[in-house]
Amino acid sequence: MNNILVTGSSGQLGSEIKALHGSYPYTFFFTDRTSLDIGDAKAIENFVELNKIDVIINCAAYTAVDKAESDEQNADAINHLAVKNFALTCKQKNIKLIHISTDYVFDGKNYKPYTEEDATAPNGVYGQTKLDGEKALLHVGPANSIIIRTSWVYSAFGANFVKTMLRLGREKEQLGVIYDQVGTPTYARDLARAILEILPNIKNEKPKIYHYSNEGVLSWYDFAKEIMRMAKLDCQINPIETKEYPTPATRPHYSLLNKSKIKQEFGITIPYWKDSLDECLKTLGERR
């Protein structure tokens, strides 16, 4: 198990794997939409054969949640049909597949952290296409493949909530941030580390689903308050309700993920969200 294909390598998670890859004894092949057409099953198969790929980590995703409501075809092509292509190739070539999914496969109406066995019920196109991707992978059923659902991803790379709050915190005296959506952020570097650590120990006959986010529970309001505090930005954060900030896509009000399964089966420790935010802000040079 030496050659690893990482798709979506210009995104947050792909970029974090790229930043860490020198610490691991593998040869990595990083691709994005310009270097590998994941909608082309033959292109995937040829790339895997040519580079003797042993593992695919699929970080590629259509993540524009609101835009997906009016762009269903493109969202489905990336979040569903491309996943089926990966699954078919991995089954045919007998190679490992790690696919990244989302808390948006749930409707957010739970009262306790979602387990991998809880019923799915997406609220919109993004969540539905991600769920369809999961179902396609499960149906094809390649051995040594897993799905990792995550939530509220942020990173030192790309556009995300943390970087938006840092920018707005400098530009504005006060901000309204939603307090009635509850979950846990995921520092993409923590998830990248977890993936690379568990990789050698993925051994299953049928695909398995796991949940991963940082530890703890908070609202977007709490998250914004802590960003301002750590970065010492003099911007007042005011709590607002979801209905005061309408968007084309409906967000889950509750998206806490139960991480017991991945921790028990792989023996990993997951960092607390404040510790990870601190690390990210230091990486960005924003910790004060």
In CATH, the architecture of 3-159+185-215+256-272 is 3-Layer(aba) Sandwich (3.40)
d(CA 226, CA 237): 10
pLDDT value of position 259: 98
pLDDT value of position 14: 97
Instruction: Tell me the catalytic residues.
Output: 126
pLDDT value of position 185: 98
Q: Domain segments of the chain: what residues?
A: 3-159+185-215+256-272
pLDDT digits (tens, 9 = 90+) for 61-86: 999 999 999 999 999 999 999 999 99
**CA nearest 61: which of 42, 41, 82, 35?**
82
d(CA 9, CA 7): 5
1 has a pLDDT exceeding 70: no
The pTM (predicted TM-score) of the whole model is: 0.96
d(CA 272, CA 214): 6
What is the separation of C-alpha 207 from the centre of its chain, rounded to a whole number of angstroms? 18
Helix, coil or strand: residue 102: strand
- Give percent above pLDDT 90 in the chain: 97
